[in-house]
A and B are shown apart, each in its own frame.
Chain A
Amino acid sequence: MIWLTWRQLRVQAATVILGVTAVAVVLAITGPRLAELAKAGVDDVFDKLTSTDVSLFWAGLIAVAAVPALVGAFWGAPMVARELEAGTHRLVWNQSITRTRWLTTKLAVTALVAALVVGALTLAVTWWSHPLDGVVSHTHGGLPELLTPVSFAMRGVAPLAYTVFAVVLGVTLGAVLRRSLPAMAVTLALYVAVQLAVPLWVRPHLVTPTTATVAISAQTLDGISADDRGHPETITVHTAERGDWVLSNETLGADGRPASLPAWLSDCFAAAPDRLTGPVEASPIDPCLERLANEGYTQRVVYQPGGNFWPLQLAEATLYLAASALLAGFCVWWTRHRLS
């Protein structure tokens, strides 16, 4: 059965492996320069990046994001659906092997190959980006930090779990819809929806986030946003450590309850010469911030500390693998009882 699975998968597998190898070669050639930059102890490595480096950084992210989705759609969705379309299920289900074994072997081998391929790709991209991911910097060169949803999902072990999930999702949808093309489309759409929903609503709670009360000062201030009429509405500050993933940023009044900004703040800013926001050293709005602090206003920040990267990775991988196992169980049941 493993032979048959590989025989049916090998063309698609070769295509993806070839693509991943090409990406890996490019990264292997360009990677050492970045590592040298970082090792040389350059003050801000991001200042030394060329536009090619930046493009490669994003290309790596996109590759790790796209391959699991593509594998789910192109390897997973047609696995059962194409058999049903071509009628070959009536050939293979009458060999001396039960449907359950046929399906579980195909699922397991396909998911394993897919996870290996994506694992290799993620490893290459993670290695390449390491000199940048590791740097704690003020602006991070405009590139996403490691724990932000964009970077987090393309590093570590999570992509392997995404891949397994995408394959199982594809196979299940193929079995349920019985047509390859619709199954591929729905697989892509659903997978993307899940990948958007998880960082928005699930990942923040996978590991208990840290809550901190931060004083409002020129040193902590990240930004002030104003409403339509130019009145300051919300203040955001940053945590002591750069690289944290801030989940919520809320102003508290003197009584420790969420409060809106006082009315005088608008006038204070208006009275300050020129810039309302901007570089924080000795800015003209410092007196306004001081007055805010004196009146007891503080910021409550809920965040995932940068050190939670691995606990979050493991928790998310477990979540996706558990979902895959449930889905696979359903897929086997469906194939045994609902297909003919």
Chain B
Amino acid sequence: MTAVLATDALGKRYGRRWALKDCTLQIPAGRVTGLVGQNGAGKSTLLNLAAGLLRPTTGRIEVCGGRPASDPDQLAKVGFVAQDTPTYAGLSVRDHLRLGAHLNPRWDDDLARSRVERLGLDPGQRAGRLSGGQRAQLALALGLAKRPELLILDEPVASLDPFARREFLQLLMEAVAEQELSVVLSSHVVSDLERVCDHVVVLVDSEVRLAGEVETLLDTHHRLTGPRRSTHSLPAGQQVVSARHTDRQSTLVVRTEQPVLDPSWTVTELGLEDLVLAYMERPRPEQPGSPAAAGTDGSPTLEVLK
């Protein structure tokens, strides 16, 4: 696997607060990688570090084989659609394309024009008057026409309505198929990513909690439902990700390479969203066994194990 983005013990601190801690990560080239995490988990920080807008406090980050934003060549390799898809409110759509053409040596003007045309954007329209979805599309067109090796998108659909969301992601995927580029995009909504990602990274509390191929992850994680029982009695190969117990029933999410043979369990497949949520609920591995959350009396209690 060649990595389009590799970090080693990467950290970023603001004052006393670590926005990203000890992040060691490899993101494969040629794939669409989803970066998932709650707001404030460090997604934006990681992506801004990758785009070279931020400088790391500790550790190293390498993107497309170089230090982010170190020179024009490096900048040309990485496209970045920043959070809230900023554009110049006073400049027209046409001006934005001209900006891209002037500032990028590999600029693909035909691509940019055809995208704008397909979206039905009026080239003379000021960007400040575009809808959120149109602005996001314009920002995406700028990022794609730059012809980068890696396109980074920071919460590109966060402020869009469901229809615009779907349309944006669909057009993004078409472009990815045409241009054979690597993509990293972040979202706090897993369902946005489920359709488009083949690799996923989960950030919780400024740390990487899970990273891997979506397919592999789905194959090796199962939801087990059965009579209430202790999680200690599971076979050695089964690692508990999360566990819920009611009076009579236990529901576990386990990770295992082997098939689950115990007939008392009902085994169901997990969707990406359930899988990611199971990891997000899990407390940090160093903290032994404290319950992440406890329900009120009588209601199902969430109990989480190491």
Contact = CB atoms under 8 A, between A and B. Distances in A.
A91 B86 contact: yes
Contacts of B103: 1, 4, 92, 95-97
Contacts of A98: 69, 71-72, 75
Given A90-B51, A93-B52, 17 more contacts: A1-B102, A3-B98, A3-B99, A8-B91, A88-B87, A90-B48, A91-B82, A91-B86, A91-B87, A92-B99, A93-B53, A95-B100, A95-B146, A96-B105, A96-B106, A97-B72, A101-B72
12 contacts: A3-B98, A7-B95, A7-B99, A8-B90, A88-B88, A91-B86, A94-B53, A94-B78, A95-B75, A95-B100, A96-B104, A99-B69
Interface in B90-120: 90-91, 95, 98-100, 102-106
A4 B69 contact: no
Contacts of A87: 82-84, 86
B189 interface: no
A274 B278 CA distance: 104
A337 B55 CA distance: 8
A97 B100 CA distance: 11
B148 to A, nearest CB: 9
B133 interface: no
Contacts of B76: 96
Contact of B80 (A94, A97, A337): A94
B79 interface: yes
Contacts of A193: none
Interface residues of A, number: 21
A14 interface: no
A101 B295 CA distance: 57
A94 B87 contact: no
A40 interface: no
A266 B291 CA distance: 97
Contacts of A88: 86-88
B139 interface: yes
B293 interface: no
Contacts of A90: 48, 51, 53, 80, 82-83, 86
Interface residues of B, number: 36
A86 interface: yes
A100 B48 CA distance: 18
Nearest to A4: B99
A340 B69 CA distance: 12
A340 B48 contact: yes
A101 B90 CA distance: 23
Nearest to B80: A94
Interface in B4-55: 48, 51-55
A95 B104 contact: yes
B142 interface: yes
Interface string A152-163: 000000000000
Interface in A62-112: 86-88, 90-99, 101
B294 interface: no
A101 B103 CA distance: 11
Interface in A86-141: 86-88, 90-99, 101
A77 B52 CA distance: 25
B234 interface: no
Contacts of A93: 52-53, 69
B49 to A, nearest CB: 10
B75 to A, nearest CB: 5
Nearest to A11: B90
A96 B146 CA distance: 8
B75 A96 contact: yes
A94 B153 CA distance: 12
B292 interface: no
Contacts of A337: 55
Nearest to B128: A86
Interface string B118-152: 00000000000000000000010010001000000
Contacts of B80: 90, 94
B112 to A, nearest CB: 13
B82 A94 contact: yes
B102 A4 contact: yes
A7 B105 contact: no
Nearest to B100: A95
A260 to B, nearest CB: 61
The 5 closest A-B pairs by CB, nearest first: A95-B103, A90-B82, A96-B76, A87-B86, A94-B80
A91 B142 contact: yes
Contacts of B51: 90, 94
Contacts of A96: 72-73, 75-76, 103-106, 146
Nearest to B147: A96
Interface string A275-310: 000000000000000000000000000000000000
